[in-house]
Structure 1
């Protein structure tokens, strides 16, 4: 009993961590009001990055991070449904082009970070992967990459892709990009829903480790949750407030990693993220145009399917534009899963060619510091 009490006390954030979480919550709320994509993650990240640069008394709630990452995995799994798999067969050409698209996108982006930015190979690799911010941050950090730069790379990608899509098509969003839309009101969950979703979060992590999955903290819960939703055991997403809490914690942790970093360093990394994002968008436009020519799928739909943004944001844009939301959701869900499962094996295959072993806690090169 004493061991449990000591463990729980160790999870309670200190004053600096509580201050950082307060900044994160306020900035997340403001970002949601402003209609920012991924507001409850990017808002806290931006707010605490500024607090870190200004040397305010903040510290990341690092001990809470392992507790909330499985919530994100369960949320991703809740996007799976039998209808999505049924619709997937109608878009065989889209899936056939997905692998070469991902390969070329990652290669172009890697060249930007490695050659132009002079990032170390590990950081450049995981910054270039067109996956989600959370999973690439987990995988890249575990491989020894610079988490600050990986986080900035993917944050810049999400923001710039959303901006490009809205400006290019001239559409205003009719719906909020708030991630709570991926969740469910707590009162709408039956006791069995709470039990099953909680089991996916708790049991998914050791299952992922047992099966030696990449990023087991997120992939294990994602697969268990996905299986439950596909089979119909659960039909709801996790509670929206838990998704918000998870993102505030993760965004706060990311932002506080910039303690001791100058505004000039952050500006340089964001500039590289902009160049990389524009290169990825150019590749997406090329593949979307080819797909439209081959299949007759509208360019507006094919581009949303291939655009290197987030699953939630692209699905919401599809909804706002009156496009096929199921098609966009399926394509992005498959993209995320392919990147999550392929990133580590591909990284291991390519590492011998780089001539540099991965080291835990790798530091950025001096030229970018």
Structure 2
């Protein structure tokens, strides 16, 4: 019992240290005006801490609590104007399959030939789906979990950093420190509004699981919150302090993905991740330009939709940049579905070979 208590205390202390690093790094990132500071800061801070073998542990128990908050926050950006844009979105979705064939296909061959990954690990490392979705599916198919996790963690790190720089330096779009959104205080919501948002968060998780949605804990609450805001059942987002807390936890969890990885492993996966990500970003920018030319979609929004980051992270970045959250999120959902349905076909083809 004493040993178990000591282990629990040690793990709690490690988790507390990781969160403290996340809060400090997030605060610093906010002060220097970094886009998406409360997620990118904790992510970078804990990545460095993990590589330096600091005694940290991911706040795994907090993650299921805060993810629905992010979903509710993302759903708060849904407006009636979305219906008018569905025609343009359809064209964007039609361009997705060739984008996946080119970008993910090249990345898959890169991991196979250069990284010497087995087919399953290479496939789920190369696919631009969400980290958690690809990790879960890859593990079920017999892939190397650590390599898949490192591939996506490094990709998310690189993508968010690159996209933030691209928006700021090339497109001239910044978050202004507040994520481009007005601060919503705890006192601005009444009991009825808190009840509606809480119901969206809790019921949304069960709805997402019942519908078997990818990233159900995000998409379920986002769906209910979007309906509630679309029909003006509630007109305010969750309090900003809760959204910041959720982003700190998310960034800390991503940074802690590098715990236990040797410097050689991290170096190898970062090397592979850098080249894979650069190729996918260049391809994504090219296809985004095609979408922007064929529709009224702004290049910045199309680029977010085609960037090879995770659903949650890119939706948060869209929120931070004042972008069209629904468009970016839905495009990523369609992409994840395509990746999942393509997996059996790819593996069957490799089996025949």
TM over 0.5: yes
CA deviations 1:54-78 (Å, max 9, x no partner) are 2222222222222112222222322
- 1:27 deviation in Å? 0.9
**Residue of structure 2 in register with 1:283 after alignment:** 283
Instruction: Give the 3 Å change call, closer, same or farther, for CA 334–152 of structure 1 in structure 2.
Output: same
CA deviations 1:167-212 (Å, max 9, x no partner) are 4x3x544532655838733222232221111111111222222233
- 1:157 deviation in Å? 1.6
Q: How far apart in 2 are the matches of 1:331 and 1:305?
A: 7
**Residue of structure 1 in register with 2:113 after alignment:** 115
2:139 aligned with 1:141, yes or no? no
**Residue of structure 1 in register with 2:157 after alignment:** 155
**Residue of structure 2 in register with 1:6 after alignment:** none
- 1:279 deviation in Å? 1.5
- Aligned to 1:257, the other structure's residue is in SS state helix
**Residue of structure 1 in register with 2:206 after alignment:** 206
User: Conserved in 1, the CA contact under 8 Å of 2:35 and 2:320?
Assistant: no
User: Conserved in 1, the CA contact under 8 Å of 2:214 and 2:336?
Assistant: yes
CA deviations 1:103-160 (Å, max 9, x no partner) are 53333333333433334445544443445xxxx1221232223323322222212212
Counterpart of 1:20 (choices 18, 21, 33) is: 18
Query: What TM-score do the two structures reach when normalised by structure 2?
Result: 0.79
- 1:85 deviation in Å? 2.2
Unaligned runs of 5+ in 2: 1-7, 140-144
Counterpart of 1:50 (choices 44, 48, 51) is: 48
- 1:299 deviation in Å? 6.1
Give runs of aligned pairs for residues 228-247 of structure 1, distance below 5 A: 228-247=228-247
Q: How far apart in 2 are the matches of 1:335 and 1:91?
A: 8
- 1:304 deviation in Å? 6.3
CA deviations 1:329-362 (Å, max 9, x no partner) are 454232122134444333355444455xxxxxxx
- Aligned to 1:97, the other structure's residue is in SS state helix
Q: How far apart in 2 are the matches of 1:11 and 1:100?
A: 51
2:338 aligned with 1:336, yes or no? no
Unaligned runs of 5+ in 1: 1-9, 320-324, 356-369
- Aligned to 1:181, the other structure's residue is in SS state coil
**Larger CA deviation: 340-349 vs 32-41:** 340-349
User: Conserved in 1, the CA contact under 8 Å of 2:58 and 2:256?
Assistant: yes
Q: How far apart in 1 are the matches of 2:182 and 2:11?
A: 27
Instruction: Give the 3 Å change call, closer, same or farther, for CA 230–99 of structure 1 in structure 2.
Output: farther
User: Conserved in 1, the CA contact under 8 Å of 2:96 and 2:335?
Assistant: no
- Aligned to 1:15, the other structure's residue is in SS state helix
**Residue of structure 1 in register with 2:68 after alignment:** 70
Q: How far apart in 1 are the matches of 2:257 and 2:278?
A: 26
Instruction: Give the 3 Å change call, closer, same or farther, for CA 179–303 of structure 1 in structure 2.
Output: closer
